């Protein structure tokens, strides 16, 4: 029977069954900026793949404290809290920065000894996945940090920075084919570069406004690891 011959009730049931087959998604994040990024950009993007339940979860640092990651145990405890349910209709992943990652992460010394940063981050992700050991979970570590995504286009900086400052961000963007590679030293991390250009840059207030102007399509086009993460989310939520 095609959709033309279905009743309203039949169509609702058909759509309901389709949605029920897609798993819910929880994304463990470090702070308010990443939380809003999930709500404003990632969730609307994933809706196109019929993933309608996307929830950012701030890392719990204490019974009442949320946000930030002082040590790996905070991340692990938050992940395990979400996985405590016996249900299998959900997926848990992470959105955490490689920059200033706690040194008590699983296999930290061995992984960070790898010179190629992409391979280093992948090794860290594999170590976390092995530690958590749950088929409903897979980790994602942003190379090098959230601000790298903002360099996918100069549109956001042109909108919220002065012309002088935007010309400096444009120069950085033109120097890197992949914004995820922007990092030559702790002082060369994307957030540090923004602070050097605009000392009053505020990640919480400005980060997502800039990201909205850039748009998730540009981020996916320019940032291969982020794009791969989006694809993995869709695959796992529909598996």
Q: Give 199-204 contacts, CB < 8 A, sequence gap 24+.
A: 203/31, 203/33, 203/146, 203/147, 204/31, 204/32, 204/33
Residue 179 phi, psi dihedral angles, 5° rounding: -60, -25
Per-residue pLDDT of the chain (239 residues; tens, 9 = 90+): 444 454 544 434 444 455 568 999 999 999 999 999 999 999 999 999 999 999 999 998 866 556 678 899 999 999 999 999 999 999 999 999 999 899 999 999 999 999 999 999 999 999 999 999 999 999 999 999 999 999 999 999 999 999 999 999 999 999 999 999 998 677 789 999 999 999 999 999 999 999 999 999 999 999 999 999 999 999 999 99
Provide the whole-model pTM: 0.89
Secondary structure class of 142 (helix, strand, coil): strand
* Closest C-alpha to 194, from 219, 157, 223: 157
Q: Indicate the domain borders of the chain.
A: 3-145+223-237, 147-217
**How much is the pLDDT for 60?**
86
**Third-level CATH fold of 3-145+223-237:** Rossmann fold (3.40.50)
Query: What is the distance between the alpha carbons of residues 56 and 95, in angstroms, rounded to a whole number?
Result: 9
Structure tokens at 52: 């309608």
Q: Give the residue carrying structure tokens 């011959």.
A: 5
Determine contact, residues 128/93, Cβ cutoff 8 Å: no
DSSP 8-state code for residue 62: S
DSSP 8-state code for residue 181: G
């Amino acid at each position: 029977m095609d959709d033309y011959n279905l009743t309203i009730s039949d169509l609702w049931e058909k759509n309901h069954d389709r949605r029920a087959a897609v798993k819910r998604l929880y994304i463990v994040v470090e702070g308010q900026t990443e939380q809003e990024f999930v709500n404003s950009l990632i969730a609307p993007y994933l809706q196109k793949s019929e993933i309608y339940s996307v929830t950012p979860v701030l890392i719990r640092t204490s019974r009442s404290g949320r946000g930030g990651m002082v040590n790996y145990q905070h991340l692990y405890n938050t992940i395990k809290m979400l996985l405590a349910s016996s249900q299998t209709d959900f997926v848990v992943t992470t959105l955490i920065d490689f920059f200033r990652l706690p040194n008590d992460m699983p296999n930290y010394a061995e992984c960070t000894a790898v010179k190629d940063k992409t391979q280093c981050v992948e090794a860290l992700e594999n170590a976390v996945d092995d530690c958590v050991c749950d088929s409903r979970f897979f980790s994602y570590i942003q190379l090098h940090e959230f601000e790298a995504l903002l360099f996918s286009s100069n549109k956001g900086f042109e909108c919220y920075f002065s012309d002088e400052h935007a010309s400096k961000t444009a120069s950085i963007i033109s120097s890197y084919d992949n914004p995820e590679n922007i990092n030559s030293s702790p002082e060369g991390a994307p957030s540090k570069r923004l602070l050097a250009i605009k000392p009053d840059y505020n990640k919480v207030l400005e980060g997502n406004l800039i990201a909205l102007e850039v748009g998730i399509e540009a981020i996916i086009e320019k940032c291969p690891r982020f794009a791969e993460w989006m694809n993995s989310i869709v695959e796992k939520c529909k598996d």
